């Protein structure tokens, strides 16, 4: 996005910003954070990633799920495999007829600890509160309320705090639920998220629980 400050034009931002790093879950795999600029965006775009040891991956961004109120689209991804090796990873994408290249240096030994997630007393069909411990190196958290019975995501939010409450819900007393907390080394609570250097994630999950009528 271009803007004016003190009568001078700010330098244009890169059309593609990208970061890749470790994802600490059942095993250490990879996570990524992508920001695509400017505001004029195609319906979809494919970003190719290459790295040490023949690492190769293609990521397709879809605007329907990635467009933010500021007009910038972004995507956070994670996967327990493939794992990363230390070295230089390169993102490439064809944008406005030109190939954009973004190199990222990765230290595969650098990981985030997994959050320990607790559920507040008396979760109901209308409201669920979750909290977790601080995670050194984490800038923000993606929190998801999931229905374990159906395998669906009921609600999600991005926060910098160590707790959140999901309200105005319509949960079922017969189903099992859990809260997943993804700690992120970049501030994904920003809109758009901030991309700088290596991007690490980790996953902490609450025990399954049921809800009662309020």
The model's pTM: 0.87
Same domain, 97 and 15: yes
Same domain, 156 and 201: yes
Average pLDDT in the chain: 87
> Is 111 a domain residue?
no
Same domain, 27 and 87: yes
Domain boundary among 61, 80, 106: 106
Average pLDDT over residues 72-76: 80
Please give, one letter per residue, the 3-state secondary structure of 159-202.
ECCCEEEECCCCCCCCCCEEEEEEEECCCCCCCCCCCCCCCCEE
For residue 142, the domain's CATH number is 2.60.40.10
pLDDT digits (tens, 9 = 90+) for 167-200: 999 999 999 999 999 999 987 888 778 787 899 9
Any residues with CB less than 8 A from the CB of 16 and at least 6 apart, and which? 34, 35, 36, 37, 47, 91, 93, 95, 100, 102
Q: Beta-strand (E) ranges in 11-119?
A: 16-24, 28-36, 44-51, 55-62, 73-79, 87-95, 98-106, 117-119
The domain total for the chain is 2
Same domain, 102 and 124: no
Same domain, 143 and 50: no
Same domain, 95 and 53: yes
Q: 114 near 138, Cβ under 8 Å?
A: no
Domain boundary among 106, 139, 163: 106
Please name the residue that has the structure tokens 């690492």: 55
> Is 214 a domain residue?
no
What confidence category does residue 65 fall into, taking pLDDT thresholds of 50, 70 and 90? Answer: low
pLDDT digits (tens, 9 = 90+) for 5-27: 233 344 556 788 899 999 999 88
Q: Which two tokens stand for residue 200?
A: 């690490």
Q: Which two tokens stand for residue 64?
A: 């329907």
Domain boundary among 79, 106, 133: 106
> Is 29 a domain residue?
yes
Q: Minimal CA–CA distance to 116: which of 161, 175, 179?
A: 179
**Structural domain of 173:** 117-205
Same domain, 87 and 179: no
For residue 45, the domain's CATH number is 2.60.40
Render 29-44 in DSSP notation, one character per residue: EEEEEEEE-SS---SE
pLDDT digits (tens, 9 = 90+) for 137-152: 999 999 999 999 999 9
Neighbours of 183 (CB within 10 A): 26
Q: 175 near 87, Cβ under 8 Å?
A: no
């Amino acid at each position: 996005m271009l803007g004016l400050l003190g009568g001078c034009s700010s330098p244009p931002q890169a059309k593609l910003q990208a970061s890749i790093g470790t994802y600490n879950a059942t095993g250490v795999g990879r996570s990524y954070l992508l920001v695509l600029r400017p505001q004029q965006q195609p319906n979809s775009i494919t970003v190719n990633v290459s790295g040490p040891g023949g690492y190769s991956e293609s990521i397709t961004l879809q605007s329907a799920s990635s467009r933010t109120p500021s007009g910038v689209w972004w995507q956070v991804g994670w996967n327990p495999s493939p794992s990363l090796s230390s070295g230089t990873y390169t993102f490439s994408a064809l944008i406005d007829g030109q190939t954009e290249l973004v190199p990222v240096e990765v230290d595969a030994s650098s990981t985030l600890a997994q959050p320990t997630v607790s559920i507040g007393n008396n979760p109901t069909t209308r409201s669920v509160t979750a909290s977790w411990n601080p995670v050194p190196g984490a800038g923000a958290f993606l929190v998801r309320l999931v229905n374990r019975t159906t395998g669906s995501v009921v609600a999600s939010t991005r926060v910098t705090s160590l707790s959140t409450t999901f309200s105005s819900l319509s949960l079922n007393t017969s189903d099992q639920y859990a809260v997943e907390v993804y700690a992120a080394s970049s501030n994904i609570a920003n809109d758009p998220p901030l991309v700088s250097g290596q991007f690490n994630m980790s996953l902490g999950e609450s025990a399954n629980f049921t809800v009662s009528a309020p």
